[in-house]
Structure formats: C-alpha cells, structure tokens
Structure 1
Amino acid sequence: MNTHSTPRLYHVALSPFCRKVRLVLGEKRIEVELVEERWWEPGSEIMRRNPAGKIPVLRMDGRLLSESQAIVEYLDETIPSPPLMPGTPAERHEVRRLCAWFDDKFNDEVTRPILSERVWKKMMKAGYPDSKLVKSGLRAIKDHIDYLTSLLETRKWLAGNMLTLADFTAAAHLSCLDYISDVDWDRSPTLRDWYATVKSRPAFRSVLADQVSGLSPAPHYAQLDF
C-alpha cells in the first residue's frame, strides 16, 4: 500500500461523526478523498473496513482508522499544527468531556431522533417520520442551547480560550441539524455568533457545500452571516 497517497474518508454527508473528522482534516489542511459509504445498502463493505460496522473510517498512513474521537485525537497528535487540544490535563479533560457530551448525550437526545426520522428514513425508504420523536428532539435541544450559552458567556470557545476538538464536535452536530433548519438560533445570539465564527473557517467549506439527494438545505445553511 502506498502510505503517501491521499487519505480517504468513508462517510455520509449528514453524519455528525463523519463531519467532525472532515472538519478536523480541513483545519489541519489535509486534503482528503471523500467516499460515500451507504452502509445500509447491500454490498456495503463497511464491516470489512470496520468490524464495528460504524462510520466514519479514515484510510491514512497505511491503516484504517475508526471511531471519530479516536480519529481526531490521532490527527491532532500526528499533525500538531494547528493544535486542537490544550496544554494541561485539566483542559484536555474539559475538551474530551464536551466531545462526549455531544457524541453521547446530545446525539441520543437530539441528533439521532431528529435525523433518523427526518433524514435517514427518507434516504433508506423506511417509512414516514415519527412526529413524536422529532418533537422530543426539538424540545431537548432547548436545554442544550441554554447550557452551551452558559459556557460561552464565560469562555471564548466552548472548552476554554482556544479553539479545540470540542468546538468542531459541537459544530458537526449542529450543522447537521441546521441543514434541515432544526436549530432555533434566535434562542441564543451568543451560540449563534459562536457558530457563525466556526462555520466561517475554511475547514467548513466542504461541509457547507454538501447536497443530499432529495433533501435541500435550509436557505441560510451556507450563509456565513446567517
């Protein structure tokens, strides 16, 4: 295998876990080949690439890397500039805590129920959305918005005073929901301003260019100033 070839990311466009890796690759200025992995279709090779059957999978440095958080920390350690983890153990703990907040709690309460019903059922031709689950996710996001706002009232970025993996993890989830206009930005101008700053970064360009077949993005989705 040619270990110097362009990294290849097996992904789907509206997966927050895939987007997290894409954003970090972009921030590190690493060119990547994007390959759509429609894991739900017959013939998918996802199990061969990752026995856990999960995306994303990044082919890089002659190996297949899986689990989004493990991937982005690998990227930050092997490509140290610009750094996306702070210098002290306490600060790194806060970054990892917030990454887990989004990948576990926020995903369970907000991202998964909304996207599963409003996006994935449509893509997989698996029936009609369950409005109760969608409404549950839309109710839950309000508390999350309020919590994030409380953090940003005392910090420049989510985990502290530097841009970190926590910001890209949060932005990955919120951007998926923003594609279908399911974030009430009016609830928090503070969070909206933070998101506008993050999505103005060059790393966000490919994400903002995403087009999902049969599902158009919200009119403001790609606008850097909303």
Structure 2
Amino acid sequence: MVPFLGMPKFPLMNTHSTPRLYHVALSPFCRKVRLVLAEKRIDVELVEERWWEPGSEILRRNPAGKIPVLRLDGRLWAESQAIVEYLDEAYPNPPLMPLTPTERHEVRRLCAWFDDKFNTEVTRPILSERVWKKVMNAGYPDSRLVKSGLRAVKDHMDYLGHLLEHRKWLAGNMLTLADFTAAAHLSCLDYISDVDWDRSAALRDWYATIKSRPAFRNLLVDQVPGFAPAPHYAQLDF
C-alpha cells in the first residue's frame, strides 16, 4: 500500500507581498479569476506561467500542475472555481453569489456547465488545435476536432440564448460567478473569432453588456504571440 502522506501544503507567504496571479492569457480558467479579481477591485500582478516548458515551477505552486494559481492573503490558492468562491466570501463587495441555496445552486450548476461540458466539447478542442499546438510546437491542428467544437458551440449558444430570454443574467436577476465563467470561455473563442454572435440576439446583448464592464478592460488588451485578436474583439459594440 502507498502510505497516505496527507493533503499537500501550499506555502505560506508574506502577508504584505504583492498579490500575484500565475496564468496564461487565453485560458478560460485564468480569465474567470482575472474577471472576478477585477470586479472586486483587487489589483494583482499578472505572471505568465508557461507550464509546458522545462523549468516551470507550476508543481511547486500547485501539486495538481494546473493554472491559475493566485498568491493572495499570505498563501497560494488553486482551482479556479474554489478561488472565485473564496474571493466572493473573503471580499464580499460586490457580491457575486445570490442569497438563497436554490439560486446559489443554479450559479454553481452553470459554472460547472462551462468548466466541464462546454470546455470539453468546445473550448478545449478549438483552442488546443488552433492555438496551443502552435504555441507549444506540438504539430498541426486536427480539423476534425475543430469542426466538432464549432458544431457543438451552436447547441450551447442556443441553450444560453434560451436562458437569457427569460433572465436578466445567466443564473437569474443578478450578475454572478456564472456570468464571468461563461464570459471567460466565450471571450477566448471570440479572440480567434469562433463565435457566431448573430445566432442569438439575447446572448450577443448579454456579452456586449458584460464586455463593457471595467472588469473586462484588461482582457481586451491581451495579446497572444503569433495570434492577433479578431478585429471586433476589443470593440464594445461588436
């Protein structure tokens, strides 16, 4: 039997050190945390973590080997959903989770929808093939995977458009973590012009509204070497 070594311990930091986010620009999970930090008006230093390159210290910062990792409040925090829920509890203004258990469940359900289902069917295959293979020098894109992702995004957009025809925001009548999670994924695809915003007027209007928030400004100036953003990417009115 392998002995149980206990939970991995994240290093404690100087509580006065500058908040820092280890990230990559076109990761939806990193973008979700960046959006919530900005909405909470928490200034952080952004440090690109090229985790695929030799010499990366990602395993020292997060034993799971995943980004983002946030240095804040004297320690390192990992897992994007756990991070944003911590931020909403530790920095409650403005609140990004509703009050009732039923409403909070809906927020978490939609966050999981994007981070699991949408990511598996849409974000990962499209970005992996069209962007990350080139960045990592990992070969040529598989057009079958890209086409599969582009087909799948249509069904997701129809579902989100249906929700927004009956709600002000994705999870209800207030801006929540669900909206920032969705916007993080969609903004990555929009950077490479892989979202047909004409498919749903409700979804397009929702995205235009959230893209106009001050929290979105830093995302709109992101640049990925070798990949210029779509011409409309930084335009608030598309």
TM over 0.5, shorter chain? yes
What is the rounded CA distance, in whole Å, between the counterparts of 1:99 and 1:5 in structure 2? 30
**Match of 2:93?**
81
Specify the code of the residue in structure 1 equivalent to 2:36.
V
**Match of 1:225?**
237
**Match of 1:197?**
209
**Match of 1:183?**
195
Do residues 71 (structure 1) and 83 (structure 2) align? yes
| Residue aligned with 1:109, SS | helix
For structure 1, the residue ranges without an aligned partner over 5 or more in a row are: none
Do residues 214 (structure 1) and 226 (structure 2) align? yes
* 1:189 CA displacement: 1.2
| Residue aligned with 1:97, SS | helix
Aligned identity (percent) is 87
Matches within 5 A, 1:59-208: 59-208=71-220
What is the rounded CA distance, in whole Å, between the counterparts of 1:184 and 1:48 in structure 2? 40
* 1:146 CA displacement: 0.3
What is the rounded CA distance, in whole Å, between the counterparts of 1:35 and 1:166 in structure 2? 25
Specify the code of the residue in structure 2 equivalent to 1:97.
R
Specify the code of the residue in structure 1 equivalent to 2:222.
D
C-alpha RMSD of the superposition:
0.5
What is the rounded CA distance, in whole Å, between the counterparts of 1:186 and 1:43 in structure 2? 44
Matches within 5 A, 1:39-50: 39-50=51-62
| Residue aligned with 2:94, SS | coil
| Residue aligned with 2:151, SS | helix
| Residue aligned with 1:163, SS | coil
For structure 2, the residue ranges without an aligned partner over 5 or more in a row are: 1-12
Specify the code of the residue in structure 1 equivalent to 2:64.
A
* 1:5 CA displacement: 2.6
What is the rounded CA distance, in whole Å, between the counterparts of 1:4 and 1:177 in structure 2? 36
Which of 17, 28, 42 is matched with 1:5 structurally?
17
Alignment size in residue pairs: 226
| Residue aligned with 2:167, SS | coil
Which of 43, 47, 53 is matched with 2:65 structurally?
53
* 1:162 CA displacement: 0.1
Larger Rg: 2
What is the rounded CA distance, in whole Å, between the counterparts of 1:17 and 1:49 in structure 2? 16
The two structures have a TM-score, normalised by structure 2, of: 0.94
